[in-house]
Amino acid sequence: MTLASAIFMLAGCGAGKDNPGRAYMPDMGESRAFETYIMHDSNAVTLDVAKRGGNAFYYNGEPVEGTLRIGDELPYTLPNDSSGYRLSATVENPIKDMSVMEMPEAKRIYQINCAICHGDKAGGNGPLATAGKVGGVANLTLPIYVEMTDGTMFHSITYGKGVMGSYASQLDRRERWMVINYIRTLQPTP
C-alpha cells in the first residue's frame, strides 16, 4: 500500500455521530465562497505576475466597459441642461429606416400619449389644448418643428419641455424614436 492511499484511508476513520472526522482536501467537496459583486482591493489582488503573490487575478465585479443591460439599447447620454439641448440637434435618429410594419404601432403610441395635447394631426389642437387646460402646446406642423432635428425632439420627449412632461418612463427609447418618425408623417414636406 502506498503512503498516499494509507493516509487517505485513515482520513475516513474515526468519524462518528458527534465527530465529523478529518476532511481531506475540503476544497474539493465545498468550493470557497467568492463574493462576486463586491469591490475587491486591486492592491491585494493583481494581474501583475511580479506583484501577485498568492492571488491569481484581479476582479472588481464591474461590467466590461460598453456593456449594455437588457433593455438598454440605443443609449442616449446627453444631459438635461441647455448644452444637452443644443447638442441634441446633432444626434441622428437610430431607427430612420423603421419598417412600415412598425408605423401603426408608432401611431398608436402617439395617439395614446401625445394626441391629447398635440392633436390627432399634430396641429397643437388636442382636447387639453382647445379646452385651455394646457397652454402653449406646440403645433408640430409649423416650419420650426419641421426643421427641428429628430435629436432635439428626442431630447424634449425624454426630459420634457416647458409644461410638457418627460416621457422617459412611459416610452422606451425605441418607442420615443418611433413616435418621432410618426410625427414626420403628419408634417407638411418642406
For ligand HEC, the binding residues (CB under 6 A) are: 113-114, 116-118, 128, 134, 136-138, 140, 152-153, 156-157, 161-164, 167, 179
The amino acid that residue 90 corresponds to is T
| Beta bridge pairs of residue 164 | 161
Query: Nearer Cβ to ligand HEC, position 46 or 123?
Result: 123
Shortest distance in whole angstroms from residue 46 CB to ligand HEC: 50
Q: From the CB of residue 78, how many other CB atoms can be counted at a distance below 10 Å?
A: 18
Query: Nearer Cβ to ligand HEC, position 116 or 146?
Result: 116
Residue nearest to ligand HEC (CB): 162
Query: Nearer Cβ to ligand HEC, position 61 or 136?
Result: 136
Distance set, CA 26 to CA 22, 65, 176 (Å): 9, 37, 55
Shortest distance in whole angstroms from residue 60 CB to ligand HEC: 39
Shortest distance in whole angstroms from residue 101 CB to ligand HEC: 20
Shortest distance in whole angstroms from residue 113 CB to ligand HEC: 4
Describe the crossing of helices 103-113 and 173-186 by its angle, rounded to 10 degrees: 90
Query: In degrees, to the nearest 5, what angle opens at C-alpha 106 toward C-alphas 102 and 108?
Result: 115
Q: What are phi and psi of 130, to 5 degrees?
A: -70, -30
Query: Nearer Cβ to ligand HEC, position 113 or 141?
Result: 113
